[in-house]
Structure 1
Amino acid sequence: MRLATYNVEWFANLFDSDDHLIIDDGWSGRRDVTRAQQAEALGKVFSALDADAVMIIEAPNTGRNQNTVRALENFSSAFDLRTNAAIMGFANNTHQEIALIYDPEVVTARHDPVGQSVGDPEAPRFDSSFRIDLDVDATEDQVRFSKPPLELEVKTRQGTALRMIGAHLKSKAPHGARNRDAAMRLSIANRRKQLAQAIWLRRRIDQHIAQGASVMLMGDLNDGPGLDEYEHLFGRSSVEIVLGDDLYDPHARRALERRLGAHPTTARFKMHKGDRYLQALLDYIMVSPDLMSHRPAWRIWHPFDDAHCWELSDLCEALLLASDHFPVSLDIDI
């Protein structure tokens, strides 16, 4: 079967207040891309991907009127996708939810959050607070997820049970900084918070593995070795913390082993200054050791780096119009 993770930039902007897909010439949230262009590009990408389940990062909004599940099911219906069922966990206030779309003939999924919401000193439920001393001042700080990870109990048609976690860790960008010193303070504070979130996430993974569960972590960790100049202050990236010694993702492992030279990338951003693009490895599918015996094969659907994508000009164009991230898929016999 094929599982995938995909960060869809400003997916929420493609739906009206009743969660109907908007396909017109109005601008989407993407630069110089209309809603029709982005929606149609996404339809092509999801059709080509043909996954049994896709973890959507930055899924459409859930709010007073809008509903993520309804929007995603409307999207799947519009493009006749077999992933026509959707599920999400705790809503957030960022208009960027985490949700899974899946083929109900192949997969069943249930939101199954773990941990106590109050007073759990080890790994509380992801919609609550995590207490940790972030700056070694003997005072506990309270950390919250702006986008609580999605914890699912998943079962495949073959009967395999998975603990699947969708995650989108906080970006380290120093938004709101008015000068260089303020930007530095915000960047360091944001990195501390992100590393705390990674520790929280890793503790949940440890709990599942200790109970003998098959674990799959999917999503955008917004971090990687060597991604910014503040990493040396803390010793490890959040990717290294979450990966630990037992989870495996070949792209993450390769990047960690090769600090210099080429390594895989899953995102491509236009830089604010100049006429260049920044490429980064941000999106991952990490699996527990027991899943390594099920012939896993990873693929980044990069329009320039993946030979099969490059050979299909329509797919290349769709990938570039659809999002600033590219899907990552995992083919695995489960």
Structure 2
Amino acid sequence: MRLATYNIEWFANLFDKEDQLIIDDSWSGRHDVTKAQQIEAVAKVLIALEADALLIVEAPNTGRHQNTVRALEGFADTFDLRTRKAAMGFANDTHQELALLYDSDRLEVRHDPKGQETGKKGSTQAPRFDGTFRIDLDIDTTEDLVRFSKPPLELAMRTQGGTDLRLIGAHLKSKAPHGAETRDEVIQISIANRRKQLAQAIWLRARVEEHRTAGEEVILMGDLNDGPGLDEFEHLFGRSSVEILLEAGLYDPHASKAAQVRPGPLPTTARFEMQGEGRYLQALLDYVMVTPGLRAKRPAWRIWHPFDDVECWRMPELREALLTASDHFPVTLDIEI
């Protein structure tokens, strides 16, 4: 079975208010890419992935008129994808939903959130992901009230072979200091964002530990917007959010390599143009983490990087589709379950 995670940049821009694809030459959210070009590229990538289940980060919007599931199932029908059914959890206000496209012949999937419903009052005991987490990160003795702008997607899954497992899809808080105009504002916003992201990781870790205590296997995947050593503010807190999640017994070979003292060259899953600098920044942001019982099944991970993956590089049409579709690249996990 192949499971995948893929952050599709500005995917929501490709659908109108009735969740129909806008296949024309108007600009998409990607630089110098039309909607028609991005739609074609995304379809080519999804067909090439041949996944049984695909977590889409930045999925189409759910709102007053739009519906994520309807949009994704329409996309799958248009391109005759095997992953023709969609599932999602709590909608959010960012126009960047978390959703799963999956092959219903091979998987049974249902939204199954855990934790206490808290509302705004919060709880210190890892509440439901649409609630509020009360936590003191122990750097200023001040309790924080933390919420997810994009509540993680919690799914109960059963494979065709009878394996039960939990899947958590996440898109953690970005650390980028958006809106900052001065150096002091950059520092202030960056620290606040990292603080919130670490709290979200602790919240996720607690949920994974609950499942492990209950004897359940977990796959946690998505865009974690972090990794060891990615920014200068990490030293204030001593660890990255990825390292916090690894403490729950989760494993991803790329995350584990990045956490080494001298990791050497690192794999990357995202590529961003540095405005005004004439170059690209590459980063490891997307992960597929598994609990020990799943790791024992000797799964295989793959980053579909257009330049670093040999097969992707040797297929020009796929290579160009990966570059056109998004600023992130898919990560897949092949596992016998």
Same fold (TM over 0.5): yes
Distance 1:91 1:245, change over 3 A: closer
2:127 alignment partner in structure 1 = 124
CA contact (8 A) 2:257 2:263 kept: no
- Which residue identity does 2:91 align to in structure 1? A
SS at match of 1:164: strand
2:174 alignment partner in structure 1 = 171
Normalised by the size of structure 2, how large is the TM-score? 0.97
2:195 alignment partner in structure 1 = 192
Match runs of 1:248-259 below 5 Å: 248-257=251-260, 259=262
- Which residue identity does 2:94 align to in structure 1? T
Match of 1:321 among 313, 324, 337: 324
1:272 alignment partner in structure 2 = 275
> How far is 1:108 from its partner?
1.1
1:36 alignment partner in structure 2 = 36
- Which residue identity does 1:207 align to in structure 2? E
CA contact (8 A) 1:221 1:282 kept: yes
Match of 1:247 among 244, 247, 250: 250
Normalised by the size of structure 1, how large is the TM-score? 0.98
> How far is 1:48 from its partner?
0.3
1:83 alignment partner in structure 2 = 83
**Aligned pair count?**
334
2:232 alignment partner in structure 1 = 229
SS at match of 2:181: coil
Q: What CA distance in whole angstroms lies between the structure 2 residues aligned with 1:135 and 1:145? A: 20
Runs of at least 5 residues in structure 1 that lack an aligned partner in the other structure = none
> How far is 1:259 from its partner?
4.3
Q: What CA distance in whole angstroms lies between the structure 2 residues aligned with 1:327 and 1:266? A: 7
- Which residue identity does 1:13 align to in structure 2? N
CA contact (8 A) 1:225 1:259 kept: no
2:264 alignment partner in structure 1 = 261
Aligned sequence identity (%): 69
2:147 alignment partner in structure 1 = 144
Match runs of 1:18-37 below 5 Å: 18-37=18-37
Tell me, yes or no, if structure 1 residue 153 matches structure 2 residue 163: no
- Which residue identity does 1:40 align to in structure 2? E
Q: How well do the aligned residues superpose, as a CA RMSD in angstroms?
A: 1.1
> How far is 1:273 from its partner?
2.5
Q: Which moved more, 1:292-301 or 1:87-96?
A: 292-301
Q: What CA distance in whole angstroms lies between the structure 1 residues aligned with 2:261 and 2:15? A: 41
Distance 1:31 1:259, change over 3 A: farther
> How far is 1:134 from its partner?
3.6
SS at match of 2:116: coil
2:209 alignment partner in structure 1 = 206
Q: Which moved more, 1:239-248 or 1:164-173?
A: 239-248
SS at match of 1:167: strand
CA contact (8 A) 1:134 1:193 kept: no
2:13 alignment partner in structure 1 = 13
Match runs of 1:101-120 below 5 Å: 101-118=101-118, 120=123
2:61 alignment partner in structure 1 = 61
SS at match of 1:55: strand
Q: What CA distance in whole angstroms lies between the structure 2 residues aligned with 1:214 and 1:135? A: 31
> How far is 1:120 from its partner?
3.8
CA contact (8 A) 1:7 1:58 kept: yes
Q: What CA distance in whole angstroms lies between the structure 1 residues aligned with 2:278 and 2:319? A: 20
1:284 alignment partner in structure 2 = 287
- Which residue identity does 2:278 align to in structure 1? D
After the TM superposition, list the runs of 4 or more consecutive aligned residues in structure 1 that deviate by more than 3 angstroms: 134-139
Q: What CA distance in whole angstroms lies between the structure 2 residues aligned with 1:186 and 1:199? A: 20
Q: What CA distance in whole angstroms lies between the structure 1 residues aligned with 2:125 and 2:238? A: 22
- Which residue identity does 1:284 align to in structure 2? Y
